[in-house]
Structure 1
Amino acid sequence: MTTSYLKTIFREIKRSKARFLSIMLIIFLGVAFYTGIRATGPDMLQAADDYYAQQKLATNSVQSTAGLTKQDLAVLHRHRNQVTYQAVKYLDINQLNNNQAVRVAEMPTKQRVNQLTVVSGRLPRRANEIVLDQQARTLQPHLKLGATYKIATTQHLNKAFNRRTFTIVGFVNSPRYIEKTTRGVTTVGKGTLDYFAFVQPGTLTQSAISRIDIQFKNLAHVTPYSAKYRRLNRANTALLKSWLKPRAAQRQAQLQRQASTQLAPKAAEVKQLAQQLPANSPILRRAQAEIKQAQAKIAAIGQPTYLYTGRAANPGYSEYHENTQRVVALSTVFPLFFIAIAALICLTTMTRMVTELRIQMGTLKALGYSNLAIGSEFMLYGGLASLLGTVLGVGFGVNFFPRFIAQAYGSMYNLPAINVQYLWLDILIALVIALTCTMGSAAIVLRVDLHSGPATLMQPKAPKAGKTLWLEHWHGLWRRLSFNHKVTLRNLFRYKQRLLMTVLGIAGCMAMMITGFGLKDSIGDISLKQFDQLWHYDAIVVRNGTQTAQQRRALHHQALYKDDLVLKQAQVTVERSDVANQTATLSVPQQPQRLKKFVVLRNRQSHNAYRLNHHGAIIDEKLAKLYHVKVGDQLPVKLGNRATKHVRVAAIAENYVNHFIYLSPQYYQQLFGQKVVYNGNLVQFTQHGQKAQDQFASDLLKTSGMLNVTLLSTEKQTNFQMLDTMDLVVIIFVVAAGALALVVLYNLTNINVSERIRELSTIKVLGFYDHEVTLYIFRENLILTVMGILLGCFLGDWLHRYILNTAETDSLMFSPGIHPLSYVYSALLTLAFSLLVMWLMHRKLKRINMLDALKSVD
């Protein structure tokens, strides 16, 4: 290839700057979106992997129904070459002064696993110092460094502390809880923890160890969530169980010995009493009966159950992985739209370029240049645009999109900022796709022309023949159309390729904008539907047992009180090996016929109401989706430490936030084999002022036996604080789609003008004003834009449904509908881009050199 020929290529690039830049920009957008979104999931996973390794997150945990002892630690000590372990003592309490459930744990002397991250302040050094979960500061803004923190719970639990007043010296995050709001379940208060606290050893009076956290050394350098990690973790769990298996019988014997030792003095007293009193003495017989009962209880002490859990039991751990997988799923469908549109536009652009340079191709052929040399100009032109677009796209996409999306998820998780990484395989794929779009398009277009002779190429290509339109047979309509409108319609259907490319390009952009606005609708509708249409109560009251007369009076005499429903509420775990464990609220109303006044259980599509029966449960729709169950199937449910029960699904109800299982009292008794203890109330208020509601909760908790009051206003604020960040993701969709729409319209309009420059010059010579020449093109663009908008509505509806299925979290279901206004906004934006492009074209058309255009043979 000669220097002169290279100069020709670069001269062509300079001459057609707009076309070259438009191809480069199309490739830039496609590559940026593809590589950026593709890198987001791995970047988020890498951030979690680094955090887990840095903070030494435990791979396994062990608990026991009878508590753990030093003998259990001794077993693990014998295998210290395989594991690192740490004993944890904790106690869950319900703070009566602020209505929150707190886990108070003793700080290990040395943090071997689950190392805390200090957000502010420092770790405790003295007995009167305490550090709190960062979440505590969010829930109680008045908690600050140096402030006094007091444990104020029930009299029984107060005795479990050697000290109950502390000075706050720090706020921390724990790798056990990477999710900002969720802290797991508990047996106190409302059933879920609000935050945790750490104190110095010796603060708790209990001797038993609550939990042993373990880190297997063979997993230290294995990527979390990977198949290898899951395989090794299964083997490690089996190994751990085999180590501790003998401990159940040993612990049983130990408990029996301890109980016998405590009983021995009393038994000796009764034996001594038998020597002093006659055998038929009532006092002696009563004492002997008590001893026999105590001995029977000792004999009945069974083997404790050892509970083994992995990282998946930590709130947020599994969900974080699922969120990254959703991003990965999005990274496959969205870039396809960009790539498909880029391929279409590049095909159209290269077709026009080949048509423009036919005479040059014929001249080169006549001078003896080979087909390879002639075609290389187009290949280099497209290849250079692709290469520059790819380099710029990778640089922008990999550095922008992962940080932007991770920031949206960052409001949900306590994880460090991500470090971007270049995934070279994806970058190579993006480059190949980009080169295929341009060079492949050029090869397709050139396949005919390169086989033509010089004489044929040096002649202008015959214009496309006009055809009679089917509209022309509609004489009544056709006669009423003006000349300009007839010309517009003929041109539209004469150039079918341009029509198809423009309509598909605009439809794709329209679809993405609809998806963006639709996501905003789906997220916003959750609040309206869940808290206004489905839930008709304002507070949940939790007691320590059956409602007493005093508790009933305390509730009914509250100024805000309107009505209430007595029910049982408990947190249950839905467990199945192929699905991440889900926590659900089990609700059993005392009067099932009154439930509809407080909770609407209905079919989401038909709105047909459901009623509780004695043959099954009503579960929420998202839970049914996760476990792939339908009416009549069985759902595995575990209540506390009891054996798993299989609940029959009687109906599937509309629900958007968290998981719920509703049972009738009769079915509950049949399922769990015991009567229902109604430990809660759903309460309706007469008014909804936040200050009055806070006072209601504060006053009610002063009543003996009242454990917790959950206000729905607070619940609503907490649940949807994180959803506000989804607006960032919506902005990505709308801005990216808008940029693509602008480039597509500009490119296609520019091609349209270039193809018809002689025609436009002719009508200018005939006396058309500048604005009339612009309208000549604009009418066609407007019709094509409207057609693209209509097709885009259908594509957008499909894409929106797909995104919802991949973007939902396990505990959340988006509302599937799109508001009519979202279609209107998307259409108006697309029209606005069309008007902007035509304004740019209008300026170009005003500068047309009519003489040069009419002298050309093209």
Structure 2
Amino acid sequence: MKPLTKNMWRAIKNSLGRFIAIVLIIMLGVLIFVGVKASGPSLNDSLSKTLLNTKLSDIQVLSTTGFDKKDIKIAEKLSDAKAEAVKFKYVLAGKDKSAVALFGYQSQQKQNKLILRSGRLPKSKNEIVLDNRAKTKYGYKLGQTFTFLKSANLKQRKYKIVGFADSPMYIDNTERGTTDIGDGTVHFFAYIPDNQMNLDSATLLNIRFDSLQKYSSFGNHYKDQINKKIIQLKKLFKTRSKIRSSQILNKTLSVIEGKQKQLNQAKNEVDQAKKQLVEKSGGLVKTTPKLDQQEKRLNVQQKKLSGLLKKANQNFKTVYTWQTREDLPGFSAYGDSSDRISAIANVFPAFFFLIAALITFTTITRMIEEARGQIGIFKALGYSKFSIARNYIGYALMAGMAGTIIGAIIGNNFLPRIVLSLYKNYIPLVAVVKFQWGFFALSILFSLIATTGAAIIVVFNELSEKPAALMQPKSPKSAKKILLEKIKPLWSSLNFKQKISYRNLFRYKSRMFMTIIGIAGGTALILTGFGIQNSIAASGTRQFNELTKYQALIRLKSAKSENRVLGTLQKNKRYKSHVDISSDIGKIQANGKQVS
């Protein structure tokens, strides 16, 4: 080895504690920086992988008249589109009459696959799989009998619970959406065999595009493409809605006409019986109690049939409700959460890295200042400034690179996984933690500035002096009086060690600033953590105590029921007041992009 190289390795060996300290402080700064910055992308990537495995649909379409095979073919006219029709409706079930999102289970289901948590999927007609939330929150167990209300209109009302599962359509375990039955809140979802749903056709059409699965569901490109797909689908289904309405109406009318013929025939038979009765009795007996009762029953049936006919002409209109992944319960909240973590990552690690950089800068500076004698000897022996500087720059470079690599590997691989494990309110995610090369490159740049940058500045500053001056001890700074010394009562009350500490603090200003900034940065980090916690807790309290001043929201099926509902409320002693409001839900688009 060359003498300079030997000297560098000897310096590392002799000051191993200092070298390790530099490595550790850089490692800590990089660990926090890369780890927190990688957490946001890891949350999105993990969800994307989970949704890819379970094949979550990109678009869900609800129809008031259902879907058939022709609707599937129309949807698949779009390039790369795969459509699947499913039976779905909201029903009431259980002793507490909970609102349940009920799906028809198909063994060959290709989209929105269930994530089984315990038990198994249904195999026979009397088996059911419940939302895992029904187990954890509502206490249902395997083997129990689950009963639906009669209004659910199923082939049978009682089913055996054979499994609990999660669904990619409900990624947040704290919410399941709303409905217009029961208390207005969906408590959980359930799956029974498709043939038990007692529906003439599927009511939900799931559409998926394989070409879009490589993009993040929260990215602008994905959202823009989905909006374009919906516009194209709406054009395809524009004429289809009229055709579908006519088909269902004609089918219903043909059934009503058949019943009307049977009713007319029964009426004719009653009239004929009365006529024969009059003829036999010579006009003395025109009817009997039995014929009167039969005629009355036929009139009631006629009234019902006329009502059905009127209702059919008014209500059989196909209306499509279009949904994207953003409309699914908890989906947007997850994306907002990962965005917030990414936003915190832009500020929080910067403080930590700044502190690490300051400490490292000061440590490198002191190390080179202590090696003035060696630098003078090498310069006197004829070594060039660059050769001498390379020795100390290499020392700083190795410490910085070692700390950066170790910190990046640990931070990128472990911190995002810790964050993922804290997301317990969501379905089990497939952990995907990609190495963030961009943030790794930034951390290298910051580390080199803190270590190599400090070495370059200080060593070339030392090399500007002559060898003779370098080989002599550096003259101490002049002992100027500090401000505290001028305040004689205060200064005289201090002991000897305190006086030395204060003099050194003001004499070596770089150390003073490093101490102040270091303590300030550490305090800022602690205060930021408490501030975030308090802000989140306080926002909810302020929202519902100061801004949103109501305890309940009642949805009316029609304006006619308002007086009845208000009468019920006024009987409650805790009732104070109410406000009539009219609300609706819609989507806003600007320049072809969805705004909200």
Shorter-normalised TM-score: what interval?
0.7 to 0.9
Matched, 1:362 2:376: yes
* Cα gap change, 1:80 to 1:525, in 2 (>3 Å): closer
Q: Any idea what the Cα deviations from partners look like across 1:30-60, whole Å, max 9, x if unmatched?
A: 1111221222222222221221111111111
Q: Any idea what the Cα deviations from partners look like across 1:661-717, whole Å, max 9, x if unmatched?
A: xxxxxxxxxxxxxxxxxxxxxxxxxxxxxxxxxxxxxxxxxxxxxxxxxxxxxxxxx
Matches within 5 A, 1:711-790: none
- Please give the secondary structure, in 2, of the residue aligned with 1:563: coil
> 1:551, 1:303 → 2: CA distance?
34
Task: Structure 2: state its 5+ residue gaps.
Answer: 272-295
> 1:336, 1:364 → 2: CA distance?
39
- Displacement of 1:215 in angstroms is 1.0
Matched, 1:347 2:361: yes
- The aligned amino acid for 1:84 is K
Task: Name the structure 1 match of 2:116.
Answer: 118
- The aligned amino acid for 2:381 is L
Structure 1 contact 147–168 (Cα < 8 Å) conserved: yes
- Please give the secondary structure, in 1, of the residue aligned with 2:60: strand
Correspondence for 2:464 among 438, 451, 467: 451
> 1:164, 1:292 → 2: CA distance?
31
Task: Name the structure 1 match of 2:514.
Answer: 501
- Displacement of 1:564 in angstroms is 2.8
Structure 2 contact 147–159 (Cα < 8 Å) conserved: yes
Structure 1 contact 87–108 (Cα < 8 Å) conserved: no
Structure 1 contact 183–194 (Cα < 8 Å) conserved: yes
- The aligned amino acid for 2:219 is S
* Cα gap change, 1:340 to 1:140, in 2 (>3 Å): same
* Cα gap change, 1:195 to 1:570, in 2 (>3 Å): farther
- The aligned amino acid for 2:61 is V
Task: Name the structure 2 match of 1:24.
Answer: 23
* Cα gap change, 1:93 to 1:292, in 2 (>3 Å): closer
> 1:130, 1:300 → 2: CA distance?
36
Task: Name the structure 2 match of 1:511.
Answer: 524
Task: Name the structure 2 match of 1:254.
Answer: 247
* Cα gap change, 1:549 to 1:114, in 2 (>3 Å): closer
> 2:303, 2:92 → 1: CA distance?
39
Matched, 1:460 2:447: no
* Cα gap change, 1:54 to 1:390, in 2 (>3 Å): same
Matches within 5 A, 1:591-610: none
Task: Name the structure 2 match of 1:202.
Answer: 195
- Displacement of 1:83 in angstroms is 2.3
> 1:95, 1:434 → 2: CA distance?
61
- Please give the secondary structure, in 2, of the residue aligned with 1:215: strand
- Please give the secondary structure, in 1, of the residue aligned with 2:245: helix
Matched, 1:242 2:256: no
- Please give the secondary structure, in 2, of the residue aligned with 1:166: strand
- Displacement of 1:91 in angstroms is 2.2
- Displacement of 1:230 in angstroms is 2.6
Task: Name the structure 1 match of 2:142.
Answer: 145
> 2:553, 2:231 → 1: CA distance?
41
Structure 2 contact 60–206 (Cα < 8 Å) conserved: yes
* Cα gap change, 1:439 to 1:288, in 2 (>3 Å): closer
Task: Name the structure 1 match of 2:448.
Answer: 435
Structure 1 contact 84–113 (Cα < 8 Å) conserved: no
Task: Name the structure 2 match of 1:11.
Answer: 10
Correspondence for 1:403 among 404, 409, 417: 417
Matched, 1:312 2:326: yes
* Cα gap change, 1:38 to 1:481, in 2 (>3 Å): closer
Correspondence for 2:389 among 375, 389, 392: 375
- The aligned amino acid for 2:225 is L
Matched, 1:390 2:404: yes
Matches within 5 A, 1:137-176: 137-141=135-139, 143-151=140-148, 153=149, 155=150, 157-158=151-152, 160-176=153-169
> 2:308, 2:124 → 1: CA distance?
42
* Cα gap change, 1:513 to 1:549, in 2 (>3 Å): closer
- The aligned amino acid for 1:312 is E
- Displacement of 1:434 in angstroms is 1.2
> 1:498, 1:26 → 2: CA distance?
17
Matches within 5 A, 1:420-569: 420-475=433-488, 477-478=490-491, 480-482=493-495, 484-523=497-536, 525=538, 545-546=561-562, 552=568, 563-565=574-576, 567=578
Structure 2 contact 94–147 (Cα < 8 Å) conserved: no
How many residue pairs are counted as aligned between the two chains?
Answer: 561
Structure 1 contact 189–542 (Cα < 8 Å) conserved: no
Deviates more, 1:294-303 or 1:427-436: 294-303
> 1:75, 1:542 → 2: CA distance?
36
> 1:524, 1:308 → 2: CA distance?
35
Q: Any idea what the Cα deviations from partners look like across 1:285-342, whole Å, max 9, x if unmatched?
A: x999999998776665675322222211112222222222222222221221122112
- Displacement of 1:107 in angstroms is 0.7
Question: Structure 2 length normalisation: TM-score?
Answer: 0.83
Matched, 1:98 2:109: no
- Displacement of 1:114 in angstroms is 0.9
Structure 1 contact 345–501 (Cα < 8 Å) conserved: yes
> 1:265, 1:491 → 2: CA distance?
106
- Displacement of 1:484 in angstroms is 4.8
- Please give the secondary structure, in 1, of the residue aligned with 2:202: coil
Structure 1 contact 28–390 (Cα < 8 Å) conserved: yes
Larger radius of gyration: 2
> 1:449, 1:473 → 2: CA distance?
34
Task: Name the structure 2 match of 1:588.
Answer: none
> 2:377, 2:252 → 1: CA distance?
107
- Displacement of 1:479 in angstroms is 5.0
Q: Any idea what the Cα deviations from partners look like across 1:94-145, whole Å, max 9, x if unmatched?
A: 336125221121112420111111111111011100000111111222x111
Deviates more, 1:354-363 or 1:250-259: 250-259
> 1:509, 1:293 → 2: CA distance?
76
Deviates more, 1:417-426 or 1:55-64: 417-426
Task: Structure 1: state its 5+ residue gaps.
Answer: 277-282, 583-626, 628-635, 637-858
Matches within 5 A, 1:598-747: none
Q: Any idea what the Cα deviations from partners look like across 1:136-168, whole Å, max 9, x if unmatched?
A: 111222x111111111x3x5x14x111110111
> 2:182, 2:105 → 1: CA distance?
24
* Cα gap change, 1:399 to 1:265, in 2 (>3 Å): closer
Task: Name the structure 2 match of 1:34.
Answer: 33
Task: Name the structure 1 match of 2:62.
Answer: 63
- Please give the secondary structure, in 2, of the residue aligned with 1:195: strand
* Cα gap change, 1:427 to 1:256, in 2 (>3 Å): same
- Displacement of 1:366 in angstroms is 0.3
Task: Name the structure 1 match of 2:426.
Answer: 413
Question: Structure 1 length normalisation: TM-score?
Answer: 0.59
- Please give the secondary structure, in 2, of the residue aligned with 1:414: coil
Matched, 1:135 2:133: yes
* Cα gap change, 1:293 to 1:424, in 2 (>3 Å): closer
Q: Any idea what the Cα deviations from partners look like across 1:17-38, whole Å, max 9, x if unmatched?
A: 2321221111010111122122
